[in-house]
Amino acid sequence: MVIRKAVAADIARIVEIEAQVFPTPWPRELLASYLGEDGFMVYEQDGTVIGYMILGIKIPSLLARLERRMLAALRGQDTNLEENTGHLMNLAVDPAFRRLGIGSTLLQRGLEYLQSLGAKTCELEVRVNNQEAIALYEKFGFVIKDRIKSYYRNGDDAYLMVKELF
Ligand X SMILES: CC(C)(COP(=O)(O)OP(=O)(O)OC[C@H]1O[C@@H](n2cnc3c(N)ncnc32)[C@H](O)[C@@H]1OP(=O)(O)O)[C@@H](O)C(=O)NCCC(=O)NCCS
Nearest to 103 by CA among 50, 145, 56: 50
Helix (H, G, I), strand (E, B) or coil at 162: strand
Closest separation in Å from C-beta 103 to ligand X? 2
Concatenate the DSSP letters of all residues of 85-148 into one string.
Answer: EEEEEEEEE-GGGTTSSHHHHHHHHHHHHHHHTT-SEEEEEEETT-HHHHHHHHHTT-EEEEEE
Taking the least distance from each CB to ligand X, the nearer of 11 and 159 is 159
Taking the least distance from each CB to ligand X, the nearer of 60 and 101 is 101
Range 109-138, binding ligand X (CB under 6 A):
124, 126, 130-133, 135-136
Q: Give the other-Cβ count within 10 Å of 27's Cβ.
A: 11
Query: Does 143 contact ligand X by CB under 6 A?
Result: no
Taking the least distance from each CB to ligand X, the nearer of 14 and 102 is 102
Query: Does 144 contact ligand X by CB under 6 A?
Result: no
Taking the least distance from each CB to ligand X, the nearer of 80 and 119 is 119
Contact 98, 127 (CB under 8 A): no
As a 3-state breakdown, the chain gives helix, strand, coil percent values, each rounded to 5, of: 35, 30, 35
Query: Does 101 contact ligand X by CB under 6 A?
Result: yes
Which of the ranges 31-39, 86-94, 115-123, 144-152 carries the binding residues for ligand X, by CB under 6 A? 86-94
Closest separation in Å from C-beta 17 to ligand X? 8
Q: How far apart are CA 30 and CA 141, in angstroms?
A: 29
Range 3-32, binding ligand X (CB under 6 A):
21
Residues near ligand X (CB under 6 A) = 21, 91-93, 98-104, 124, 126, 130-133, 135-136, 139
